[in-house]
Homo-oligomer: A and B are copies of this chain.
Amino acid sequence: MKLLKEKIEREGRVLSENVLKVDSFLNHQIDPVLMQAIGEEFAARFKDAGITKILTIESSGIAPSMFAGLTLGVPVVFARKRKSLTLSDNLFSSKVHSFTKDVTNDISVSKDFLSNEDVVLIIDDFLANGQAALGLLDIVGQANAQTAGVGIVIEKGFQTGGSIIRERGVRVESLANIKSLVNGKVEFFEEEPTV
């Protein structure tokens, strides 16, 4: 997605060979115009997949998911990273390790909002080691729902998450796929064709 790649090149900060910081438009400050374009792009790519629900994870997955949900006409559910006292025990849950923050979180989704009749589009901001996506896929599986695919804003294609998910036969659509962050420079894989 050209608009997104240009934004990454202009505002992304390469902190190491593994870390790209995009706090100015995605992970802390959020650009609503870009999020709308991203959400509409996810919606376009999955428009024939019969999506009934979008599943994401707090917090940075919420903004792009909102616009995808609006365009597809379906609700968005965000998995919580900690069990809230106001949520009941009526939960699907899975464990997700964040290598960036070096913590393992329980992520959970109420059984009220995911069922075996759902066709789910999973959306997240980053795909690196794939831990969050695997946790969300696990939750979709617990609900006996169907996964239509995974929509990722920025894939770090030099890490293993994308391969792990695709090898399971899950369709992954990344709007920007990073080949390398070596020498402080962002290099992208060629754009994958829009399906």
Contact = CB atoms under 8 A, between A and B. Distances in A.
A77 interface: yes
Interface range on chain A: under 10, 10 to 19, 20 to 34, or 35 or more?
A: 35 or more
A36 interface: yes
Interface in A19-62: 19, 21, 23-25, 28-33, 35-36, 58-59, 62
B69 A30 contact: yes
A102 B82 CA distance: 13
Interface string A84-96: 1111000000000
Contact of A75 (B29, B66, B87, B101): B29
Within the oligomer, what is the number of copies of this chain? 2
A181 to B, nearest CB: 14
Contacts of A23: 86-87, 110, 112-113
Interface string A1-35: 00000000000000100010101110011111101
B19 A75 contact: no
30 contacts: A19-B86, A21-B86, A23-B86, A23-B113, A24-B112, A25-B75, A28-B80, A28-B87, A28-B109, A29-B75, A29-B76, A29-B112, A29-B113, A30-B76, A30-B78, A32-B66, A32-B67, A32-B70, A32-B75, A35-B66, A59-B59, A59-B78, A62-B62, A62-B63, A63-B63, A84-B101, A85-B100, A85-B101, A85-B102, A86-B100
